[in-house]
């Protein structure tokens, strides 16, 4: 048996000790989870297919055509894959200035023209709960009559799956949706515009130009 001289371990034993300590530390390092990877997902691009398995609440006109009803926990990917041609636009928030004064009203006023271009359904998405989205739809002039469906992505899971989240924590609004507009055919993205600031390429007029 080797003796310890002067209270110090021999160099060989010291090396083995450091390796053991390092290995123990490495084993304790957390592995990246699938959820952390998904949070860094790049934005959806033309050619991508809308993912399945993300649940949202959908607000649309009821049978009276005067108020809205809510369909809870709907797989939005499954629904969009049944649409021959759909338009979906995302806004940072219901009742916010640009969204309420321009973005949603723009699609309301152009809904019939969009349908004449072959659009079967128009969806407006926001990271808000179903109660807020229902109130927004009912209080926006012409929205109920236009037939536009409002997607209440309360947890932000759908917009996160698309890689289109907007960090609004600096404004104390949490994580929201970027302002975007897309044309889908059976769930496949065939056109996508994103406005990092203001309302330009994601307006109803711009989508009409894309449709030709």
Q: Does 66 fall in a domain?
A: yes
Contact (Cβ atoms closer than 8 angstroms) between residue 125 and residue 177 = yes
* Token pair listed for 98: 């640009």
**What CATH number is given to the structural domain containing 167?**
3.40.30.10
pLDDT in tens, the chain (212 residues): 444 444 444 454 444 444 343 444 334 433 333 333 333 457 899 999 999 999 999 999 998 888 999 999 999 999 999 999 999 999 999 999 999 999 999 999 999 999 999 999 999 999 999 999 999 999 999 999 999 999 999 999 999 999 999 999 999 999 999 999 999 999 999 999 999 999 999 999 999 999 98
Between CA 93 and CA 33 the distance in angstroms is: 29
Residue 201 belongs to a domain: yes
- Would 61 be classed as within a structural domain? yes
Instruction: Please name which of 91, 212, 86, 65 lies closest in space to residue 146, comparing C-alpha atoms.
Output: 65
Contact 60, 68 (CB under 8 A): yes
Q: How many domains does the chain have?
A: 1
For residue 143, indicate whether it is catalytic.
no
| Catalytic option among 68, 99, 124, 143 | 99
Q: Which domain holds residue 91?
A: 55-211
pTM of this prediction?
Answer: 0.80
State phi, psi for 122 to the nearest 5 degrees. Answer: -120, 130
């Amino acid at each position: 048996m080797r003796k310890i001289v002067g209270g110090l371990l021999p160099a060989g034993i010291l090396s083995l000790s450091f390796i053991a300590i390092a290995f123990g530390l490495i084993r304790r390092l957390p592995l990246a989870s699938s959820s952390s990877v998904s949070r860094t997902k790049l934005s959806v691009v033309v050619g991508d297919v809308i993912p399945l398995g993300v649940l949202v609440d959908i607000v649309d006109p009821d049978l009276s055509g005067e108020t809205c009803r809510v369909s809870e926990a709907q797989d939005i990917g499954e629904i969009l894959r049944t649409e021959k041609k759909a338009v979906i636009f995302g806004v940072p928030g219901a009742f916010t200035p640009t969204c309420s004064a321009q973005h949603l009203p723009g699609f309301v006023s152009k809904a019939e023209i969009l349908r004449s271009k072959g659009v079967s359904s128009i969806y407006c998405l926001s990271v808000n709960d179903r109660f807020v989205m229902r109130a927004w739809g009912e209080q926006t002039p012409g929205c109920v009559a236009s037939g536009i469906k409002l997607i209440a992505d309360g947890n932000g899971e759908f917009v996160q799956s698309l890689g289109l989240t907007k960090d609004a924590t600096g404004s104390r609004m949490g994580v929201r949706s970027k302002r975007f507009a897309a044309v889908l055919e059976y769930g496949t993205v065939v056109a996508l515009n994103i406005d990092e600031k203001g309302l330009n390429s994601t307006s109803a007029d711009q989508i009409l130009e894309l449709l030709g």
